[in-house]
Every structure is written in structure tokens, then in C-alpha cells.
Amino acid sequence: MLSGDLVASWEVALSDGVYRIEFDHGTTTGRRIVYVNGQEVVRRDWMFKLVGKETFSIGGSHTKATINIQAISGLAYEYTLQVDGKSLQTFMDNKAKSTKTWLLCVDGENWRVVLEKDTMDVWCNGQKTSTTGEFVEDGTETRFMLGEHECCIKSTSGGRKKSGIVHILLLNGEQIPACTQ
């Protein structure tokens, strides 16, 4: 359970889900606690050095994350998160380029579908999904099921060098808009 010294929180979107990271820093007790989705993953009590780093992993791929603790003045501290050795913003920018995400509701259930563009792996609500891929006249089609519904991710050339490959999710033949997370 979270204590009263919560000083920072971040959200990190990975292919297998969105992870909430929270950091509890007791500057009078020397305690450091890291929570991932409410679960304690690191606990250090009676730390005499109040600055430093806490490293842990998140997600099914055990992505490395590090919280940096720096003194900025007196007893004021700055907390930054690095993921996979990069600042959170750089990591998220790179992830946005290498994945495409759709959020949709099917038969009353919310789904988060993520396409990893480099491997063409598809993740549905945090689980890597079985797919079949085929080449078609204007690109490729990657097919999979969401419950009883057929989905297809069509990958085609955007027609211009800058737009690259365009990925479109179809659910029962209807296009689903991508989200921006």
C-alpha cells in the first residue's frame, strides 16, 4: 500500500500494457519505495544517502527503468525516470515511432491493440496474439481475432517518402481510428 511520502509518478506505455510507476521517498527516514501498478518492486529503508538511483524492471519484457534522485536545493529533490537507458520522453517518442496503438470496445469489453511495426507482432490487452500474415497487392494484411470478431491490420505504402508505411486496423471490415498514446 502506498505511504504518505509519494513524490513522483509516471505512466509508461509498453506493448504489453500501460504501467504506472510511483516513487515514495522519505527524506527524513531515508526510505525509498518503487511501485509498479500499485505493487511494491523496490524497498530500501534507512538510506543515509538521499540522492542516487533506483533501478527495476517493468512489463513482461523486463524493460529496465531507473529513477534518478537529485538534490536541487536544500531539502528539495528532483526525480526523473529513464526507461531503457533513455529519458521517459525520448523513450515514449521512440516507442510511438515503432508501434501503433488502437483503443476500442468490442462486445462491451475495452481492448488495447498494439502493433510492433518492426516485428509485426500484435498485442491485445497485454497478451501477444496469434496472427496470420499475407502479402496482398498493395501491401500486407495481418489477421487475428478479438473474441469472436475478425481483425485485420492493413499495412500499405503511404505514397510519399515522409509518410512511410500506413497501418490501418479493421474490425469486421470497419476502420478503427488509432489513438495518440
DSSP secondary structure string, 67-89?
Answer: EEEEEEETTEEEEEEEETTEEHH
pLDDT (tens digit, 9 = 90+) per residue, 109-164? 999 999 999 999 999 999 999 999 999 998 999 999 998 999 999 999 877 766 68
- Listed as own residue / partner, the contacts of 56-62 with beta carbons closer than 8 Å and 24 or more positions apart are 58/12, 58/14, 58/19, 58/21, 58/83, 59/14, 59/15, 59/16, 59/17, 59/19, 60/16, 60/126, 61/14, 61/15, 61/16
pLDDT (tens digit, 9 = 90+) per residue, 153-170? 999 987 776 668 899 999
**pLDDT above 70 (res 14):** yes
**pLDDT above 90 (res 90):** yes
pLDDT band at 4 (very low <50, low <70, confident <90, very high): low
Spacing of C-alpha 63 from chain mean position: 10
Helix intervals (H) in the chain: 88-98
Return the SS3 of 97: helix
**pLDDT above 70 (res 38):** yes
Full set of structural domains in the chain with CATH: 6-84 (2.40.128.180), 96-176 (2.40.128.180)
**pLDDT above 90 (res 12):** yes
| Structure confidence at residue 9 (pLDDT) | 97
**pTM, two decimal places:** 0.84
